[in-house]
A = this chain, B = another copy of it.
Amino acid sequence: MRAITLLTDYGLADTYVGQLKGAILRIAHEASIVDITHQVPAQDVKAGAFLLWSAVEVFPAGTVHVAVVDPGVGSGRRAIALRAKRGDLFVGPDSGLLVPAAERLGGIEAAVELTRELYWGLFRSTTFHGRDVFGPVAAHLALGAPLEDIGTPIADVDRSASLPGHRTTAVGITGEIVHADAFGNLVTSIPAQALPERFAVRVCGRRIGGGPKPTFASVAPGELLAVIGSSGLLEVSAREASAQQLLGAKRGDPLEVERE
């Protein structure tokens, strides 16, 4: 059976994640369910899209990924499922949330709107499609239901949550901060392949030279450094400290890379 991953903004204090899992287990008793995170900032589709993008590649090809960050629940927004070229399946709202992750796995091979209620759960609510629609559909997909059976083919999907890019200028490369993790590492929109061999980063009024460092231990404790992060993106970090706090940085802040 395919594994199922979950990414939501439900948090862990309520029972919503538990109910979503119950809805899956009711259909797929032996399902292997893995939490990616449930602490996406509430209703922040772009943050969710980045986090999903960052996580999917390491899972086995063919995994079913459920993602729910859904300010439009109960409105006209469509519920969809996608198949990426690698074979992974994505289930969630048509808000752009799923698209960057699917692009990472080779691009969207097929997309359907979830219209066949036969594959939904026991309950119907206007506020909790994770439990009532997305979880049950994912369970059926994990058990082997073909994507084409669970909905109606659609040609277009919402692509409004695509990841920020980077741009080459006369001086170097410009990009932006896309995520600050819990350690205070600042993940940027600049992929490793775009970087020169030796470079400096300008961000929040500071210049951080000598990049990329091979490891945190290349600088003294408390010092800033530029590294290639585990997602393959440039990151600005500090050894045994928070680069986010040292720089006062936040998502969306611009940065520049210049050859050294």
The chain A residues found within 8 Å of chain B, CB to CB, are 3, 5, 7, 10-19, 21-23, 25-26, 29-30, 32-39, 42-43, 51-52, 54-60, 63, 71-76, 121-123, 125-128, 131-132, 181-183, 214-217, 227-230, 235, 237, 240
Contact = CB atoms under 8 A, between A and B. Distances in A.
A237 B74 CA distance: 14
B125 A229 contact: yes
A60 B13 contact: no
7 contacts: A15-B52, A17-B37, A18-B35, A26-B60, A33-B34, A71-B240, A126-B227
Contacts of A5: 18, 22
B39 A12 contact: yes
Chain A contact surface mostly: loop
A138 to B, nearest CB: 14
A235 B229 CA distance: 42
Contact of A13 (B37, B55, B71): B37
A82 to B, nearest CB: 18
